[in-house]
Chain A
């Protein structure tokens, strides 16, 4: 029987061809096919198949041995050459490697930070469908909404699956053994269904069987009950209300913006309050998956106006996606700015490091034209040269990568400390991350090795050997563009860094309008509140104390907000103002300045009805002579008796708002502020404690310093600012390294030119000038390009601060001068060295 096709399959042929190492593969393949055909004809197709596979298998071992041996030989050779090249240009190579690894390490650290920021609140299974209800009032969005809005939405709109109110407060929690202040969150029972806070004990459906129930976190349980089982045990709230622990949940993750130690049913506040439209609560709702948030927002915008009949104020409801709460402030800004800023910096650091690497490798590559030429003469194929150079640059970039990883591990503890984030390396989704970095690394290696590999290997060896190629390598337009780009980025970075530092310094040292030093703050409780006058009198007898006052709000953060009325208010002039209930020593204690009228007087009972406003309020009301004008808040009519100078009643990111000070005790005092003498702080504290024990023996003595409290509003800001400072500083260093390397290289390339000029009689200064002229022109160009760019960038960045430092021109000049100085230093060092040596030596160079 004759088979129609007595031929080996194409697969077999391909394999055989691959294994074959002969100058005439066609001939031998032909022999194989002929023998195959022969066997197939005589002994059958199957035997032929067996035969050819035996042939294939038999040739594998020697093929492997051969190729391994020779490639190993070549690899050792290439590594040896790479090491020699590295040694020959020690400084460049080190700068090169160091820059790239520091760049990569920074990039990794920043990405860890960014990833952590982006991961906030994403761990909830329903995070996608949960929204916070927000309210637009008086032109601004606020996150506090009425108690009754969430139930109303649930009743009216079927797409609302569940809702919860959420209000945190600090409570004193005690059992027989111990007592602390804890952050308590009051929530509806659906809270546990909406959010993913897994129960260790107890369950989602019966979290609050009675009003006297509480769910505590693992940490709280351990604090109060140690290793004992906490469920069913009793805790006492504020010394009066017993609650029983009904569940224990896992500790709140760090990347959750909701944070609490204990959860209580919101119903303990009473039906009346929960059904009211008082704006006191945060509310979250969970929508159906299919609901479009935009349409839903349009539907609900009028809901407050519909139900809340008390006022004619225009309050518009809206929703904010839950996972955006951490990053986006309601009225613009928020940590997202830093996320973007950091990502930009990370990008630039990596870009700069890569460009550095590419620039220097390319520059160095051009000096290796002779090597390429010799290799070709000896018989290297183009492919082999490409392989060598790409391999070499890959080797360097892999080394840089490994160094970067080591650096990350070294600096991670420090970075954790500065960022106050519990970051881990490698992160959980390292695959994505690692693939990204590997890609960047690969591209860097390919581009940096690409010039010698692809460009130099292309030419005829004679042409390369004559050296006509290496001479014009430095004249490449691409090189010039890269230099200008590099300097531009560097100058921009220097300018932005200096501006960031200046802004942070400005915020830190801004005059707040009151003296926040040496003020001890005590929280007020019922015991103190009822006997405040005698408590105050007792404290004032102490030698270590300068002044005592009490207020509903600390001056560093006034949050209360109420509609006000004044004499001459226009019908369309509607305004709610910040207000604080204070006693008559408030202004003196904080050393605020009265610019019109007078302070409250303790002797005048009528002053209980009177008001003091700040300049901003006067400006808003448009009153020319505010003192003596009628003014009211909660329908309590009185007159304005004084105007104080503006002070910062909110963190400095926000502008100063109109403020009213009143003595009206409708709002209870929440803090006592005591100014102590600076040399007697410790004595004062112990004396205050004694007094406290005397008046409020049942309450733990707890105090804080106002300036620390003030700082605490800025810690995250300061922290991020500090990180920003560090990273832009590193970016600056990296790009300066690049400049240094590049300048040094440029100078070295001109050694021969310098020699020739010297032989012809040029002076050293003259030579250095001529040689560096072009280079410095490029830097000048970079300056011109970078100034407007960085101006725009800095302007936009500063716009996020309500109080900002001015953009100073000297920073721009300084950055420019710095870039020049770096370049001059590196360039002239090498140029001078070349210029001062014997011209004969210089001429022999290259």
Chain B
């Protein structure tokens, strides 16, 4: 299996989890909200592109609005492989976190 970078993981998770329309602006908003850190637009699109290239995401053009200057939104969704990947990640984390009840330096 392929390992994903942290931003890729987070973006993948976001798209799977979020209820709003899954396009650039919303993805960014959600991820900023969840992480509490600043994400630039580019920081969203680089993982998006990579995930798409790896086949974990697919995208299609959707409706356009006047706020966007008449430009279409691009909706991203998980592919089967993307979903599998997420499951894989969860499994690994669960295995790792299992016998670590508390985080503190000794």
Q: Do B71 and A37 touch (CB < 8 A)?
A: no
Which chain B residue lies CB-closest to A20?
Answer: B42
Q: With A35-B25, A37-B67 as given contacts, are A30 and B73 in contact (CB-CB < 8 Å)?
A: yes
**Within B52-106, which residues are at the interface with A (CB < 8 Å)?**
61, 64-65, 67-69, 71-74
Q: A7-B69, A27-B73, A29-B71 are in contact. Are A34 and B25 (CB under 8 A)?
A: yes
A59, B42: Cβ atoms closer than 8 Å:
yes
Q: Are B68 and A33 in contact (CB under 8 A)?
A: yes
B105 to chain A, nearest CB (A): 36
Specify the chain B residue showing the minimal Cβ separation from A13. B69
Q: How far is the CB of A219 from chain B (nearest CB, A)?
A: 75
Interface centre among B41, B71, B72 (most CB of A within 10 A): B71
- Taking the complex as formed, is A773 at the interface, i.e. its CB lies under 8 A from any CB of chain B? no
B72 pairs with A30, CB closer than 8 A: yes
- A32 contacts across to B, CB distance below 8 A: 41
CB contacts (< 8 Å) of B45 on chain A: these are: 22, 28
Kindly list chain B residues whose C-beta atoms are within 8 Å of the C-beta of A24: 74
Please report the C-alpha to C-alpha distance between residue A55 and residue B43 in the assembled complex, in whole angstroms: 12
**Interface class of chain A by DSSP:** helix
Is B74 within 8 A of A27, CB to CB? Answer: yes
A526 within 8 A of B: no
Q: Which residue of B lies closest to A23 (CB)?
A: B49
Which of A22, A29, A34 meets B65, CB within 8 Å?
A34
- Name B's interface SS: mixed
What residues on A are CB-neighbors of B28 within 8 Å? Answer: 31
Asked if B69 and A30 make an inter-chain contact with CB atoms under 8 angstroms apart, the answer reads yes
Q: When the two chains form their complex, are residues A26 and B72 in contact, meaning their CB atoms are under 8 A apart?
A: yes
Q: How far is the CB of A36 from chain B (nearest CB, A)?
A: 9
Best-surrounded residue of A22, A33, A37, A55 (most CB of chain B within 10 A): A33
Task: Give Cα distance in the complex from A305 to B72, angstroms.
Answer: 94
Q: Which residues of B contact A59 (CB under 8 A)?
A: 42
Residue of A nearest to B64 (CB): A30
Within 8 A of A (CB), among B1-59: 23-25, 28, 40-42, 45, 49
By a CB distance below 8 angstroms, the chain B residues around A7 are 69
Q: Which residues of A contact B61 (CB under 8 A)?
A: 27
Cβ–Cβ contact B71 & A26, under 8 A = yes
Tell me if B41 and A31 are in contact (CB < 8 A): yes
Identify which of residues 1-25 in chain A touch chain B, using a CB-to-CB cut-off of 8 Å: 6-7, 13, 22-24
Residue numbers in A under 8 Å from B64 (CB-CB): 30
Complex alpha-carbon distance, A29 and B28, angstroms: 15
B74 to A33, Cβ gap below 8 A?
Answer: no
How many angstroms between the C-alpha atoms of A727 and B55 in the bound complex? Answer: 70
CB pair A34–B72 under 8 Å, yes or no, is: no
Q: Residue on B with the closest CB to A30? A: B71
| Residues A33 and B69 in contact in the complex (CB < 8 Å), given A22-B45, A55-B41 | yes
Instruction: For A7, give the chain B residue with the smallest CB separation.
Output: B69
Complex Cα spacing A59 to B41, Å: 11
Are A31 and B24 CB-contacts (below 8 A) given A7-B69, A24-B74, A26-B72?
yes
Q: How many residues of chain A are within 8 Å of chain B by beta carbon?
A: 21
For the complex, give the distance between the alpha carbons of A7 and B67 in Å.
8
Nearest-neighbour CB distance to chain A for B59, whole angstroms, equals: 8
* Among B40, B65, B72, contact of A27 (Cβ-Cβ < 8 Å): B72
Name B61's closest neighbour in chain A (CB-CB).
A27
- Chain A residues near B69: list those with CB within 8 A: 7, 13, 29-30, 33
Residues of B close to A35: CB separation below 8 A: 25, 41
Known contacts A22-B45, A55-B41; is A31 also within 8 Å of B72 by CB?
no
Inter-chain contact A34/B67, CB cutoff 8 Å: yes
Within A26-82, the residues touching B (CB, 8 Å) are 26-35, 37-38, 55, 58-59
A27 with B41: CB separation less than 8 A: no
Contacts A22-B45, A59-B42; is A27 near B24 (CB within 8 Å)? yes
Residue of A nearest to B68 (CB): A30
Assess whether B24 is in contact with A28, with CB atoms less than 8 Å apart.
yes
Residues of A within 8 A of B73 (CB): 27, 30
Give A468 Cβ to nearest chain B Cβ, in Å. 37
Q: Give the residue name and chain of the B residue nearest to A21 (CB).
A: B42
A230 to chain B, nearest CB (A): 80
Expressed in whole angstroms, the minimum distance between the Cβ of A723 and any Cβ of chain B is 66
* Most B-side CB within 10 Å, residue of A7, A26, A37, A58: A26
Closest A-chain residue to B70, C-beta based?
A30
Shortest beta-carbon distance from A220 to chain B in Å: 79
**Which B residues are CB-close (under 8 A) to A33?**
67-69, 71
B42 touching A31 by the CB < 8 A rule?
no
User: Given the complex, which residues of B lie within 8 Å of A27, measured CB to CB?
Assistant: 24, 61, 71-74
A452 to chain B, nearest CB (A): 34
Smallest beta-carbon distance B25→chain A, Å: 5
Docked CA distance A27–B42 (Å): 12
List A contacts of B24 (CB < 8 A): 27-28, 30-31
CA separation between A29 and B68, bound complex, in Å? 8
CB closest residue in chain B, given A35: B25
B71 partner residues in chain A, CB cutoff 8 A? 26-27, 29-30, 33
Complex CA distance for A7 and B69, rounded to whole angstroms: 8
Q: Which of B28, B41, B49 has the most CB of A within 10 A?
A: B41
- How near does chain B come to A749, taking the closest CB pair, in angstroms? 45
- Residues on A with C-beta less than 8 A from B65 are 34
Question: Of A22, A24, A38, which is in contact with the most chain B CB atoms at under 10 Å from its CB?
Answer: A24
- Residues from chain A with a CB closer than 8 A to the CB of B67 are 6, 33-34, 37-38
Residues of the B chain whose Cβ atoms lie less than 8 Å from the Cβ of A22: 45, 49
**Among the interface residues B24, B40, B67, which one has the most CB atoms of the partner chain A within 10 A?**
B67
Which residues of chain A have C-beta atoms less than 8 A from B68's C-beta?
Answer: 30-31, 33-34, 37
Q: Which of A511-555 contact B (CB under 8 A)?
A: none
Residue of B nearest to A59 (CB): B42
CB neighbours (8 Å) of A6 from chain B are: 67
How far is the CB of B65 from the nearest CB of chain A, in Å?
7
Complex CA–CA separation, A13 to B61 (angstroms): 21
Contact pattern, A 645-686, Cβ under 8 Å of B = 1, otherwise 0: 000000000000000000000000000000000000000000
Contact for B41 among A23, A28, A38, CB less than 8 A: A28
Nearest-CB distance from A388 to chain B (Å)?
28
A422 to B32: give the CA distance in the assembly, Å.
Answer: 76
CA distance A830 to B68 in the complex (A): 67
Residues on A with C-beta less than 8 A from B49 are: 22-23
Chain B hits for A30, CB < 8 A = 24, 64, 68-69, 71-73
A6 vs B72: C-alpha distance when bound (angstroms): 18
- Which residue of B is nearest A22, CB measured? B45
- Chain A residue nearest to B24 (CB atoms) is A31
Q: How far is the CA of A597 from the CA of B28 in the complex (A)?
A: 122
Cβ contacts A to B, 24 pairs, < 8 Å: A7-B69, A24-B74, A27-B24, A27-B61, A27-B71, A27-B72, A27-B73, A29-B71, A30-B24, A30-B68, A30-B69, A30-B72, A30-B73, A31-B28, A31-B41, A31-B68, A32-B41, A33-B68, A34-B67, A34-B68, A35-B25, A37-B68, A38-B67, A55-B41
Sort A-B residue pairs by CB-CB distance and give the 4 closest, nearest first.
Answer: A30-B71, A30-B68, A31-B24, A37-B67
> Which residues from chain B sit less than 8 Å from chain A, CB to CB?
23-25, 28, 40-42, 45, 49, 61, 64-65, 67-69, 71-74
Contacts beyond the supplied A27-B73, A58-B40: 8 A-B pairs with Cβ under 8 Å: A26-B71, A27-B61, A29-B69, A30-B71, A30-B73, A31-B41, A37-B67, A55-B40
